[in-house]
Amino acid sequence: MYPFLKIIPGLLLYLLFFLMAHYAFLHKWPGLQDDAVLLLTLAVVMLTHRRLLHFLEKKSHWFFSARIARVLRLMENLNRQLNDTHSYFELKKTLMDSFDRIIENTPYAFYVLEDKIFYLAHTRRIKADQIPPAHIESIYLRELPKGVLVKKRADLTLPAEVEQAFQRLELDYLYFFSGHSHIFSFLAVRPELHRILQHPSVLELFRRINNKSGLMLESSALHIDLEQKQHEIRKLLDVSQKILSELDIKKILDYILDALSELIEYDAAAIFLLNDETQELLSTSSRGYAARSQLSLKVGQGSCGHVARSQKIEVIPNVDEASHYYKARPETQSQISLPLLFEKKVQGVICVESDEKDFFQEPDVELLKVFANQAALAIHNAHQVQVRLQKQALENELFHAGTVQKGLLIKRIPQIHNMRFIAENIPSQNVSGDLYDFIRFNDDTMGCIIGDVSGKGAPAALMMSLILASFRTQSKSGDTTCDVVNRLNELLTETTIEGKFTTLFYGIFQTGHRKLIYTNAGHNPPYLIRKNGEVIPLTGGGLLLGFLKNQEYIQKELPLEKGDLFVAFTDGLSEAMNAEEEEFGEERILEIIRSRQQDDLFKIKSTLLEALQRFTKTDMHMDDITLILARVDS
């Protein structure tokens, strides 16, 4: 009854205005007719406005609910598609196609991390002249807390050009996709989409998709990184074999530039050789320059001449701003020049050029260093007179002066609270098949590996480089020791040179939790020596790496106590022989260490190596030797 009473005044007013209009039309009073029609209309509005508002409200709620239902349906479909997505590029395409369907009628931008740069991977409904910047350095998002899902743009510190572009497009919210360790991509959206994504049911499903796709992006990126490193190592092996089999310097340098083009995008490149007598640089091999007999520069002339004089790498992001740049190509915008050094003597210069400004990044420089060393070695050996001496020297000097391998081995071992580490590597030849590495996860956690590739010389050294590069990529994920070792085994069974296998021990020391987690893949056991003299061998884990696919590796744990001494070594130490063919042996190693257990780590190391020298009576060893020592301080 009550609702009806609320509309009685409106009905009475409507009746009154209706009678007035009827009377006015009946007696033909034009002025009164207009007023009556207007009043009649007002009465209708008064009578119906609540119902009209209620209807519009219901319609608005229905439209919003329908959109939520549509977004949920599309997200459920995306979630199912992710289960069948495996490759990195397939994953990116799946995400972008789904975003196009989910995000209706509003602009958005999708950025993906590659080599410490967030690249603009996809946009929709943005005009060509309003496209946001193509890349954002990851440093601007480095301080975000782990696992963050969404942030207002106003709460972030972005580059000015990015901020202005996002503000102009009203991209006020950034949704992040994170892996185990850091952000791998983000989606920039407008407030209207943000309201939908914040709906509880949508947000819960989006969070699941976010977690799944973030981890998949991380895994895919690691896989691509591994594939790239494998490709680089294979290419280096090809170049090394070419150097061993070819004596024509022009053919070798041409091959180096062609191999380099498969790993680095460049528009022009040249390798100059230095003539000591005339102090001129002559381009012996080049790509991408206008046809001419030969490029020639004086030492000190142009960027290449400057590098030949300074013996330092020069990276020019913008050649227009470099006073000493020699413009051999009008299209060139950026350039890298590196000296070709052998035993600190300049053999020549290698340079690569791009038609884009600021094109070359740090990974390009690091890869060029390796090729520069290869070129320097090739030039040196091509200058040798006797072919037989050349071929004997090539393998021994392949990575001369630690150019590649020693650059890979960690030079400065990081330290953690309450524990100290030292290491020593003694190759039997100029290069080693032994490996070790340390990765500091935080102030209380350190990862440590030691391994031994079967065989010696360049093939073992190349395998060592592959394993070391792969471990550094894998260990960034923060996975368990058994997971990392398992993935290394899968990689090596795919890529290992026939007959080359690897033993490996991987341990994670957690002084905060006072424990050691480890996996031993066929390596001779390291030892944990307690303060009371108890010796614990660290065995168990699985088969050596690269032998059989689909192996199951396990990990073990041990408590760490104050005064514990950790010692790990390769069999080059324990199996070293004297003139009577007697082995140095693990028992002798442990006896020496226990007798010096209270000494500092460097003293223990020197005592052990001195005992080895006295035992073998030689500084020349038949196998590579690697030793790691560590102590729990408190």
Which residue(s) pair with 426 in the sheet?
A: 625
Which pLDDT score is estimated for 57? Answer: 46
Q: Would you list the DSSP string of 113-182?
A: EETTEEEEEEEES--GGGPPPSEEEGGGGTTSPTT--EEEGGGS---HHHHHHHHHTT--EEEEEE-SSS
pLDDT band (50, 70, 90) for residue 56: very low
Q: Which amino acid is at 526?
A: P
Which pLDDT score is estimated for 554? Answer: 94
| pLDDT > 70 in the chain, percent | 76
Distance CA 340, CA 383 (A): 14
**462: Cα separation from own chain's centroid:** 21
If one compares 598 and 384, the residue with the highest pLDDT of the two is: 598
CATH of domain 85-222: 3.30.450.40
Reference 176, options 145, 200, 134; nearest CA is: 145
pLDDT single digits (tens) 499-549: 678 999 999 999 999 999 999 999 999 999 999 989 999 998 999 998 888
Reference 37, options 23, 51, 55; nearest CA is: 23
Residue 525 Ramachandran class (φ > 0 left, ψ -120 to 50 alpha, else beta): beta
pLDDT band (50, 70, 90) for residue 206: confident
- Count Cα neighbours of 563 within 13 Å in the Cβ-side half-sphere: 10
Averaged pLDDT, 360-364: 78
Which pLDDT score is estimated for 90? Answer: 78
| Residue tagged 């041409």 (tokens) | 254
Which pLDDT score is estimated for 496? Answer: 62
Q: Would you list the DSSP string of 338-381?
A: EEEEETTEEEEEEEEEESSTT---HHHHHHHHHHHHHHHHHHHH
Q: State which H helix or E strand residue 389 sits in.
A: helix 387-396
Q: Are 239 and 202 in contact (CB under 8 A)?
A: no
Quote the CATH superfamily of domain 407-632.
PPM-type phosphatase domain (3.60.40.10)
Dihedral sign, Cα of residue 48, residue 49, residue 53, residue 59: positive
pLDDT surpasses 50 at 32: no
| Residue 375 neighbours by CB under 8 Å, 6+ apart | 253, 256, 271, 340, 347, 348, 350
| Residue 559 neighbours by CB under 8 Å, 6+ apart | 514, 515, 516
DSSP secondary structure code for residue 479 in this structure: -
Tokens of 606: 């020197």
CATH of domain 246-400: 3.30.450.40
pLDDT surpasses 80 at 152: yes
pLDDT single digits (tens) 600-620: 999 999 999 999 999 988 877
Distance CA 17, CA 11 (A): 10
DSSP secondary structure code for residue 321 in this structure: G
Same-fold call for 85-222 versus 246-400: yes
pLDDT surpasses 50 at 137: yes
Q: Are 574 and 583 in contact (CB under 8 A)?
A: yes
Neighbours of 620 (CB within 10 A): 6
Mapped onto helix, strand or coil, the DSSP state of residue 588 is: helix
Q: State which H helix or E strand residue 568 sits in.
A: strand 565-569
pLDDT surpasses 70 at 62: no
pLDDT surpasses 60 at 157: yes
Which pLDDT score is estimated for 215? Answer: 66
Averaged pLDDT, 357-374: 79
Distance CA 69, CA 428 (A): 68
Of the listed ranges 2-16, 389-403, 533-547, the least confidently predicted one is 389-403
| Residue 173 neighbours by CB under 8 Å, 6+ apart | 150, 151, 152, 153, 188, 189, 190, 191, 193, 194
Tokens of 237: 């092996």
Distance CA 188, CA 172 (A): 7
**Highest-scoring range by mean pLDDT, 49-58, 247-256, 334-343, 564-573:** 564-573
List the alpha helices (DSSP H) in 549-623: 571-574, 586-595, 601-616
Reference 366, options 315, 309, 429, 325; nearest CA is: 315
pLDDT single digits (tens) 432-474: 678 899 999 999 999 999 999 887 666 777 778 788 888 887 7
**Highest-scoring range by mean pLDDT, 30-39, 278-287, 320-329, 578-587:** 578-587
| Residue tagged 């190349």 (tokens) | 462
| In the chain, domain spans | 2-57, 85-222, 246-400, 407-632
pLDDT single digits (tens) 400-444: 434 455 556 677 889 999 999 999 988 876 666 788 999 999 999
List the alpha helices (DSSP H) in 440-556: 457-475, 481-495
Q: Which letter, b or e, does each residue of 376-396 get, where b requires 16 or more Cβ atoms within 10 Å of its Cβ?
A: bbbbbbbeeeeeeebeebbbe
| Residue 226 neighbours by CB under 8 Å, 6+ apart | 470, 473, 474, 491
Averaged pLDDT, 564-574: 94
pLDDT surpasses 50 at 399: no
Q: Are 111 and 118 in contact (CB under 8 A)?
A: yes
